[in-house]
A and B are shown apart, each in its own frame.
Chain A
Amino acid sequence: MRNDKGLLALFEHPDDLISAVKKIRSHHFTKFDAYTPFAVHGLDHAMGLKRSWVPYVTIAIALMGAGLGFLFQAWALSTSWPVNVGGKPMVGWPAFIPVTFELTILTSGVSTSLLLFGLCWPFDFRKPSLDPRLTNDRFGLFIEERDAKFDEELLTKLLKETHAEEIKKII
């Protein structure tokens, strides 16, 4: 089912958006999302969003990058083509630290960034955004029509109570 039908309320101030989110959550609506021009402090908590799981991926890839990066250097200089510098140990590990460190940052940073691009998927360029002001100076709350509790009249009343500036039906 298409999930872009529903009711969009626009607010002038982020605090009104937060109180609207709290209100509709207390009425057990679940299929909704907020759209804001910047990350509003406290909104994720009001919406009941969990802490992002991205750091677990970052740390896993960082450890992998560090491990493989170190092993590669040790293998290249001690086994693949042994280079002995002044009779020092073949795996002179302190000399491998800078490159190991850079590879740790490179692998984890690049993969974290690519992960964010993936999370933005699908990039739908054809669909116009719900409202162009949402990336500028208005704060939106969008309740999907497929929400089991969806009731236009009740929602309009709730949103008006929390100072919604405008309420639009998206069809």
Chain B
Amino acid sequence: MMGSHTNIIIKEPLIDPSKTYADVGDDVCLPLESFPTKRWWMLISITLSMLFIGVVAVEELIRRGIGVWGLNQPVGWAWDITNFVFWIGIGHAGTLISAILYLFRQKWRTSINRSAEAMTIFAVMTAGLFPILHTGRPWYAIFWLFPYPNQRQLWVNFNSPLIWDVFAVSTYFTISLFFWYIGLIPDLASVRDRAKNKIRRFVYGALSLGWSGSAKKWNHYEMVYMLLAGLSTPLVLSVHSVVSFDFAVSIMPGWHTTIFPPYFVAGAIFSGFAMVMTLLIIAREAFNLKGYITIGHLEKMNKIMLLTGMMVGYAYITEFFIAWYSGNLYERFIFMNRAFGPFAWAYWTMMTCNVIVPQIFWFKKLRRTIPVMFVASVLINVGMWFERFVIIVTTLHRDFLPSSWDYYRPTMYEVGLFIGSFGLFLTLFLIFCRVMPTICMFEVKAVMKHRKKERGELYA
């Protein structure tokens, strides 16, 4: 309400001020209620073809074994674990947006949290493929990874970081799924009430658990949502910390460092925002959501990328400094080898994409120019993929025994699976855009300014 206080800073409106509550429903539900466009069919046929390439690669992998990959002695981990860490990292932006920004009362999150959370879920599903396939016989994996009473009377080894990882990732997936679904309930009810045909009304009605919008239920709902945000916040920080323990708890030079947990978490958020940015730039265009996902939203995300990008850059430099300062010969060697050895091309790709590229976001003009941020976000994705590749492969390929040193090259099966992982992620995302409201309608309505026509007052 207009009060006696003067606002010194005039804020850019979060949502296009000409929109009404009813517009939100109409605009967001439009893709759900109309026949898929030609563009959508085109996109999904591309992503399904990518997925198919992945399926063929996996078929060969399962039939012939892990040997079809380019792994060797001493490089026993390469593209598979790189991709695992990469995809898990992508998921972190979704939880940051949905949980951490919620706790900090950042209202701008409302337009992007739904799709970012969906990306979290799909990214974690995609990530899960890699370690499971790496076990060689994935159909046994569940029996090796989870503790259950068995004939062998054995339990998993809880001292192992790999088991911590199983618990961290599966908890992360489960909680993210519940959090996402709970966030969807009021919107599913909204879709149900808009539905024109019976089947649609039944399906969305069942999914919305008969939600009526009663204030007594909102009271509990808000509390549950806040609790889940509170639980997800330490969870998301723990997940990539635990992923980093897979490396940090070993004794390999280049891995055995205490900086790893915060460094990995910052990198995860950095790469996750880049992926959210890439996809949202396309989605806001394709589904006509520019009034909700405004340049202002994209700019705020660019600022987060600038911040996390510098945290990652700081970590790279600290690692180098400590390698020199510690006086540890092996540590020094590994870092010199990273920057100037056979994988220097990967190292400098990473440095350029992750440290130099985000610096363009110091300029307001560039932060608000769509083509610039699109290219930057793609480059950051590339850079963050190379970060994991550099960490994993450069440490392994020259180990303590010079006689076993080797180079690593991926085979077409690894590349195929990598393409397939993008196929899976993007296919799931495209389907999501068709069947669920991509914007959290009820939260957007709660942050909108609502004009009363008859009395002409503007309410905040």
Point out residues on A near B: beta carbons under 8 Å: 12-15, 33-41, 43-44, 47, 49, 51-52, 54-55, 58, 72-73, 76-77, 80-81, 83, 85, 92, 95-96, 98-99, 101-103, 105-106, 108-110, 112-113, 115-117, 119-120, 122-125, 129-130, 132-137, 140
- CB under 8 Å from chain A, chain B span 421-447: 441-443, 445-446
Residues of A near B383 (CB, < 8 A) are none
Are A38 and B224 within 8 A (Cβ)?
Answer: no
Residues of B near A140 (CB, < 8 A) are 213
Are B210 and A125 within 8 A (Cβ)?
Answer: yes
- Produce 1/0 per residue, B209-240, CB < 8 A to A: 11111111111111110011001101100100
CB distance from A63 to the nearest CB of B (A): 13
Among B155, B179, B193, B205, the residue within 8 A (CB) of A77 is B155
Interface size on B, residues (CB 8 A): 67
Which 3 residue pairs spanning A and B have beta carbons closest together? A137-B21, A52-B223, A123-B210
Residues of B near A135 (CB, < 8 A) are 186, 189-190, 192-193, 211-213
Are B158 and A95 within 8 A (Cβ)?
Answer: yes
In this assembly, does B202 line the interface, its C-beta being within 8 Å of a C-beta of chain A? yes
Q: How far is the CA of A36 from the CA of B185 in the complex (A)?
A: 14
With A39-B221, A92-B159 known as contacts, the answer to whether A58 contacts B171 (CB < 8 A) is no
Residues of A near B227 (CB, < 8 A) are 54-55, 58, 108, 112
Residues of B near A122 (CB, < 8 A) are 210
- Produce 1/0 per residue, B154-173, CB < 8 A to A: 11011101011001101100
Among A13, A47, A83, A116, the residue within 8 A (CB) of B459 is A13
Residues of B near A47 (CB, < 8 A) are 215
Are A54 and B223 within 8 A (Cβ)?
Answer: yes
Are A112 and B224 within 8 A (Cβ)?
Answer: yes
Are A95 and B159 within 8 A (Cβ)?
Answer: yes
Q: How far is the CA of A118 from the CA of B164 in the complex (A)?
A: 31
Are A110 and B215 within 8 A (Cβ)?
Answer: no
With contacts defined as CB atoms under 8 Å apart, how many contacts are there between chain A and chain B in the complex?
A: 193
Beyond A98-B168, A108-B231, A120-B217, list 8 extra A-B contacts (CB 8 Å): A13-B452, A37-B441, A58-B231, A72-B147, A102-B164, A109-B232, A123-B210, A125-B206
Are A37 and B445 within 8 A (Cβ)?
Answer: yes
- Produce 1/0 per residue, B173-215, CB < 8 A to A: 0110011011001100110111000000010011001111111
Look across to chain A and name the residue whose beta carbon is closest to the beta carbon of B149. A80
Are A102 and B213 within 8 A (Cβ)?
Answer: no
Are B212 and A134 within 8 A (Cβ)?
Answer: yes
In this assembly, does B37 line the interface, its C-beta being within 8 Å of a C-beta of chain A? no
Among B25, B167, B168, B232, the residue within 8 A (CB) of A136 is B25
Pull 29 A–B residue pairs with CB atoms less than 8 Å apart, ordered by A.
A35-B213, A37-B186, A38-B446, A54-B224, A54-B227, A77-B158, A80-B155, A98-B164, A102-B171, A102-B238, A105-B171, A106-B170, A108-B227, A109-B171, A116-B220, A116-B224, A119-B217, A120-B209, A120-B211, A120-B217, A123-B206, A129-B189, A134-B193, A136-B21, A136-B22, A136-B25, A136-B190, A137-B445, A140-B213
Q: How far is the CA of A10 from the CA of B157 in the complex (A)?
A: 60
Are A36 and B158 within 8 A (Cβ)?
Answer: no
Point out residues on B near A: beta carbons under 8 Å: 20-22, 25, 147, 153-155, 157-159, 161, 163-164, 167-168, 170-171, 174-175, 178-179, 181-182, 185-186, 189-190, 192-194, 202, 205-206, 209-224, 227-228, 231-232, 234-235, 238, 242, 245, 441-443, 445-446, 450, 452, 459
Q: How far is the CA of A81 from the CA of B441 in the complex (A)?
A: 52
CB distance from A5 to the nearest CB of B (A): 16
Q: How far is the CA of A151 from the CA of B105 in the complex (A)?
A: 42
Q: How far is the CA of A35 from the CA of B215 in the complex (A)?
A: 6
Quick one: which of B218, B221, B452 has the most chain A CB within 10 A? B218
Look across to chain B and name the residue whose beta carbon is closest to the beta carbon of A131. B193
